[in-house]
Structure 1
Amino acid sequence: MTAMTFQQLEQDVLRPDLCTVCGACQLACPAGVIGFDGLTPVLTADSWTAADCGECTDCLTVCPGADPGTPATEERLFRRTRTPAERWTGIFDEVVAGHSLDPVVFEASASGGSLTALLQTAMAAFGVTVVLSMGRDADEPWRAAPALVRDPAALAGTAQSTYQLAPYLGALRPVMLHEPDAKVAMSGVACHIQAMRKLQAMDTEAGRWARDHVVLLVEPACSSSTRPEGTAAVITQRAEVPLESVVRLRYREGEYPGDIGIRTADGQDHRVAFWQAVRDFAGNKTHRCLSCGDWMSGLADVSVSDGDPNIFAASVQGGDQDKHGRVFIRTETGRKAMAEGFARGLLTHRPVDLAGLNLGLERKRNRRASYEESGKPVPLGPLPHYREELDIIPDEQLIAAPAEGEHA
């Protein structure tokens, strides 16, 4: 008997632990019956079972968990696919060092705020009225949650890296249904961008809406995200703070590259060294994140990586880099956004040299290679049938704890 569509999603993606928690299935489902139980997609209508679902294949088609669909999207965006030399960076026209010129955004940001400045530019120059960004849950402020931002000034509140998984793209469903004429910009890590590009290629109501109304996609580089339990462990075990007392959380608080900043209901601020949190996060990741083949999707209009290529070492020893991001400009829309942001005084940029090691990328490369050798199910990479040959360095070696007294 042929499996129905949600059963097939369970078989191909959920059971092999290949779900990215991107939320695209929730956004794309025509019947609106897919939701999330924590980090797991589920059917939410009492009258539906997995066997009832089968009139369309939209949730499977849009899902980037097993197949991010990179080559097909690159053909649409760039009229070619990437070469092996572009395997980890994707196709881009130019890379620059950039940062926001808004002191509030710059201060709030993890690496200079160029990504946030581009979202502000979209609101100022592209007629965007809604921005999807990652924020915090209103009831549990330590927990990540998607935020729909309508005020450019309010984007400073989401101008931070968020090292935590949360269902994301489904937050756009109310916009699609109730504000169908709204123009949308979004930030998102590789799997979010891949899913949105797959949706934009679909000849469905949701696909047509995404194609016409999601007008700017920007992404931060992602070494991998973490289950909420990883953040909870840092708060309760490192900072020794009860979760229920947390009223504010920042992952890159204070002097660059920043620490974990936790504020409690009694007004006290608690700090955990970023390098310690990175090590704690390593034990709280999904198989899909660990086996991911993308540092950046390469499919956003603009991608941004941290300006300091080794913020782990900077957290241990103290950094000597100024706060900025490396901005990869990929599409004509991305070039226009950068030009408008510069012209409107929202961001600045200068030439940058990409030479040298980037720790986040090296962690991703080595983990991916180890999972390719493991024989376990892994998502497709951006180059079909291509496997990178390297002498694998274990992740625990790349983020080894400093010797006693070594850290600042």
Structure 2
Amino acid sequence: MTFQQLSKDILATELCTACGACELACPPGVIGFDGLEPVLTLASWTEADCGGCGDCLDVCPGADPATPAAEDRLFGRRRTVEERWTGIFSEVLAGHSLEPEVFEASASGGSLTALMRTAMSVLDVDVVLSMGRDPDEPWRAAPRLVREPSGLTDTAQSTYQLAPYLGALREVMEKSPEDTVALTGVACHIQAMRKLQAMDTEAGRWARDHVVLMLEPACSSSTRPEGTLAVIRERARVPVESVVRLRYREGDYPGDISVRTDDGEDHRVPFWQAVRDFAGSKTHRCLSCGDWMSGLADVSVSDGDPNIFAASVEGADQHKHGRVFVRTGAGAAAVAAASGHGLLAVSPVELKGLNLGLERKRNRRATYERSGTCIPLGPVPGHREEIEIVPDERWIAAPETTAEGTSADTPGRTADGAEEREGRR
């Protein structure tokens, strides 16, 4: 099994997550990315020349996230059908950063950023992998290796955009292999890293020994870069070449899309409008994904707001915070350290009600399970979503307006109080 097999089984079936794990795992380091697509990077190499180790396919979460095997290793058991969408956890807490600059910069209270800062300042982690922006194209998402706690504030935001990610860790593995690493990533990133840690390869052994903390936000789905481009051009109405800064959840909670141009002007797009626009720029893999959270991170965080889509239209009715799912011993230690050092406020919270981001994902998954198309495996073998499918556009219906131009309904709100979660943190 070579890169040729990866091309046949994953790329040709549109199951690539663009997670970047193949780039990290490739022994000779000849896999890179052309946009969101893995490619062989050396002109002297062809698919026929590619070794035969199969590491790129073994690490790939695109068709098989290998959740049951990872749960056996992490928890000594597999999730039940009742735990299908939340995974196994020891407790769930309401949390937010106690550092004003992190709290203000965050989308959902900064719990993940507070834990990453704790990892560096208290737990002696050397480097954090987080999603930032491309320095040459500030509107484009790009992985960032952060080596100072203060540098994490710039990444304390939701990023509704796909970008090759885990391959950035190759620099650490090759140039400073003794460094310890914490990372934040969505479900496919965490699944890929757990698969890598189970592999008896040089990269797998490095990942087992040196990737010491994994944090994840809940994810309804990510968006191709073209989705962000469309919002910039068609909603903010500015040339993409003029963009010097982009934030997806800027300002008063739940925030707007903020596009700053080189003339110093800030251009705002309502968050609900961008969510609707992004719906047209998804990949098959994201739309058919069977995971809201991987359940394999040490800590997972979802937005604590009952419905951020509705809040974007009508205004928020509660304070900014996240729901913190503590899963492993490493996660519990990180939360305790963050709380004990005054970086994170946590309090017990009852896990009840639904979540709009989760409901969108469940309904999309059910649609694809009945479609007969090639889709990734879910976390519970053989389980299918037996629900009455609600079309995605109904979950994020555009607000009606009165003659005065104000909202006349509550888009995305359901009778059972569903919530929305589409981003990183």
**Partner of residue 139 from structure 2, selected from 142, 147, 152:** 142
Percent of paired sites with the same residue: 75
Shift of 1:7: 1.0
Correspondence for 2:52: 55
Correspondence for 2:417: none
Instruction: For 2:29, give the aligned amino acid.
Output: G
Higher mean displacement: 49-58 or 395-404: 49-58
Task: Give runs of aligned pairs for residues 8-407 of structure 1, distance below 5 A.
Answer: 8-404=5-401, 405-407=405-407
Shift of 1:84: 0.4
Instruction: For 2:407, give the aligned amino acid.
Output: H
Unaligned runs of 5+ in 2: 409-425
Would the aligned equivalents of 1:309 and 1:360 in 2 still touch at CA under 8 Å? no
Instruction: For 2:173, give the aligned amino acid.
Output: M
1:374 alignment partner, SS class: coil
**Deviations 1:335-354, CA, capped at 9 Å, x for gaps:** 00000001111101111122
Shift of 1:125: 2.4
Would the aligned equivalents of 2:271 and 2:312 in 1 still touch at CA under 8 Å? yes
RMSD: 0.9
**Deviations 1:120-169, CA, capped at 9 Å, x for gaps:** 11112221111000000000000000000111011010000100000000
Instruction: For 1:33, give the aligned amino acid.
Output: V
Cα separation, 2, equivalents of 1:309 and 1:208: 41
Cα separation, 1, equivalents of 2:312 and 2:407: 8
Would the aligned equivalents of 1:222 and 1:295 in 2 still touch at CA under 8 Å? yes
Instruction: For 2:183, give the aligned amino acid.
Output: M
Cα separation, 2, equivalents of 1:125 and 1:322: 27
**Deviations 1:279-324, CA, capped at 9 Å, x for gaps:** 0000000000000000000000000000113111111111101100
Unaligned runs of 5+ in 1: none
Higher mean displacement: 123-132 or 72-81: 123-132
Cα separation, 1, equivalents of 2:364 and 2:238: 32
Instruction: For 2:307, give the aligned amino acid.
Output: N
Would the aligned equivalents of 1:112 and 1:324 in 2 still touch at CA under 8 Å? yes
Shift of 1:407: 3.4
Would the aligned equivalents of 1:19 and 1:288 in 2 still touch at CA under 8 Å? yes
Shift of 1:178: 0.5
Shift of 1:46: 1.0
Q: TM-score, normalised by structure 2?
A: 0.94
Cα separation, 2, equivalents of 1:15 and 1:407: 44
Cα separation, 1, equivalents of 2:368 and 2:306: 24
Correspondence for 1:6: 3
1:98 alignment partner, SS class: strand
Would the aligned equivalents of 1:316 and 1:406 in 2 still touch at CA under 8 Å? no
Would the aligned equivalents of 1:33 and 1:43 in 2 still touch at CA under 8 Å? yes
Cα separation, 2, equivalents of 1:407 and 1:13: 43
Q: TM-score, normalised by structure 1?
A: 0.98
Instruction: For 1:92, give the aligned amino acid.
Output: F
2:17 alignment partner, SS class: coil
Instruction: For 2:89, give the aligned amino acid.
Output: F
Instruction: For 2:97, give the aligned amino acid.
Output: S
Shift of 1:406: 4.3
Shift of 1:51: 1.3
Would the aligned equivalents of 1:366 and 1:395 in 2 still touch at CA under 8 Å? yes
Would the aligned equivalents of 1:317 and 1:406 in 2 still touch at CA under 8 Å? no
Cα separation, 1, equivalents of 2:242 and 2:66: 42
Cα separation, 1, equivalents of 2:218 and 2:334: 19
Would the aligned equivalents of 1:136 and 1:144 in 2 still touch at CA under 8 Å? yes
Cα separation, 2, equivalents of 1:15 and 1:140: 29
Instruction: For 2:219, give the aligned amino acid.
Output: C
Cα separation, 1, equivalents of 2:235 and 2:173: 41
Cα separation, 2, equivalents of 1:388 and 1:231: 31
